């Protein structure tokens, strides 16, 4: 995958960050040129949804096709909706648990499904199950004639040996905890309706999208910068730059099929939490303290199939760490939405 602009050495403010997150690759521009119909993004008000919608809009504008990008959310955050409106994205408010509201969503040939909930599951598991299963059922019935890409999660896998290179799409699932089981339930709904109606779907199992305002690298870097110990019991992970993840999500429409295609969406490397924290300590000129010892297993995914089909991510781990260190040092805005990467019991 090649960017249509040069990768910046540092990101100095949110304006530049948002611009870079929504800069389409040449491959994405060429792909959207082949699309028929509009792109509908469901769950567009979350952490990834706004930049995904604007990325799609900018790619379409560069391709010159005139297709619309329609962003659907409950839009509890009015600023998020306004940000999309200002950038030419059509916004539509809907609760996907309401069948009539889903019926009223505009038609589209291409659907990107970003709906889900994770944090707060321990306090309200029934809501997590409803969002992760009922909403997807409603959407699959409504958009049976569309092509879909649906975001899933690597949490549906069991912990695997660190040396394994990560769980593969062909391997067994083994969700731990209510959230992971509900996420697997979401996948099962897509699989059922795809097979029943012949709806082409790509299910993308994401492990840790990285923005600078949130994400696993920000979590680790912030601990180092603030002098807090870094927990290394869950000592290994995968991650991917959010812009690269969003680019791949859109282009995964091209490989959707029935029954659904499964793809692990993450970076190709198994990363050490201890090594990442040590690099942050060097870049931030801070001492680093660790707590716990690394377990021999971790929640890891093998992204070889996704890289083969859609190309590897363009943003290196080294670049993401350097950007994050600069962001923390300069006091860049944070969303205060920790990933809880250290959790091993599935309780979120």
Of 31-35, 45-49, 98-102, give the lowest mean pLDDT range.
45-49
Query: Is the predicted pLDDT of residue 69 greater than 70, yes or no?
Result: yes
**Per-residue pLDDT tens digits for 222-240:** 999 999 999 999 999 999 9
Mean per-residue pLDDT, 149-176: 96
- Superfamily of domain 14-209+241-268+300-314, CATH level 4: NAD(P)-binding Rossmann-like Domain (3.40.50.720)
Percent of the chain at pLDDT above 90?
Answer: 88
In this prediction, residue 121 has a pLDDT band, given cuts at 50, 70 and 90, of: low
What string of DSSP letters covers 156-223?
GSPPEEGGGT-B-TTS-----HHHHHHHHHHHHHHHHHHHHHT--EEEEEE--EE-SSSSHHHHHHHH
Query: Is the predicted pLDDT of residue 339 greater than 90, yes or no?
Result: no
DSSP secondary structure code for residue 95 in this structure: -
**Rounded Cα distance, 184 and 346, in Å:** 13
Query: Is the predicted pLDDT of residue 119 greater than 90, yes or no?
Result: no
Alpha helices per DSSP H over 71-156 = 78-86, 99-103, 125-129, 135-142
Which helix (H) or strand (E) segment is 148 a member of?
Answer: strand 147-153
Mean per-residue pLDDT, 3-31: 92
Mean per-residue pLDDT, 338-348: 79
pTM for the full predicted model: 0.95
Q: Report the DSSP beta bridge partners of residue 41.
A: 71, 112
In this prediction, residue 1 has a pLDDT band, given cuts at 50, 70 and 90, of: low
């Amino acid at each position: 995958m090649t960017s249509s602009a040069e990768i910046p050495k540092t990101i100095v403010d949110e304006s530049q960050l948002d611009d870079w997150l929504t800069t389409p690759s040449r491959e994405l521009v060429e792909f959207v040129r082949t699309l028929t119909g509009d792109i509908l993004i469901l769950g567009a008000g979350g952490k990834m949804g706004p930049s995904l919608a604007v990325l799609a809009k900018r790619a379409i504008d560069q391709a010159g096709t005139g297709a619309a990008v329609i962003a659907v959310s409950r839009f509890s955050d009015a600023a998020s909706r306004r940000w999309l409106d200002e950038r030419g994205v059509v916004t539509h408010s809907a609760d996907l648990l309401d069948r009539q509201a889903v019926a009223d969503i505009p038609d589209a040939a291409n659907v990107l499904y970003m709906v889900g909930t994770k944090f707060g599951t321990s306090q309200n598991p029934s809501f997590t199950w409803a969002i992760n299963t009922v909403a997807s059922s409603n959407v699959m019935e409504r958009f049976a004639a569309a092509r879909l890409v649906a975001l899933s999660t690597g949490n549906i896998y069991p912990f695997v040996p660190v040396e394994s290179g990560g769980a593969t799409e062909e391997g067994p699932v083994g969700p731990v905890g209510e959230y992971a089981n509900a996420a697997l339930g979401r996948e099962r709904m897509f699989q059922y309706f795809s097979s029943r109606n012949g709806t082409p779907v790509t299910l993308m199992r994401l492990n840790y999208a990285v923005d600078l305002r949130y994400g696993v690298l920000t979590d680790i870097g912030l601990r180092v910068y603030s002098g807090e110990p870094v927990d290394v019991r869950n000592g290994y992970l995968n991650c991917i730059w959010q812009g690269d993840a969003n680019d791949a999500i859109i282009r995964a429409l091209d490989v959707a099929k029935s029954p659904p295609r499964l793809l692990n969406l993450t970076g190709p490397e198994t990363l050490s939490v201890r090594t990442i924290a040590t690099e942050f300590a060097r870049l931030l000129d801070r001492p680093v303290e660790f707590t716990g010892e690394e377990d021999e297993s971790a929640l890891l995914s093998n992204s070889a199939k996704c890289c083969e089909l859609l190309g590897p991510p363009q943003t290196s781990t080294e670049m993401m760490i350097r950007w994050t260190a600069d962001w923390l040092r300069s006091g860049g805005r944070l969303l205060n939405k920790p990933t809880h990467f250290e959790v091993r019991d599935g309780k979120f």
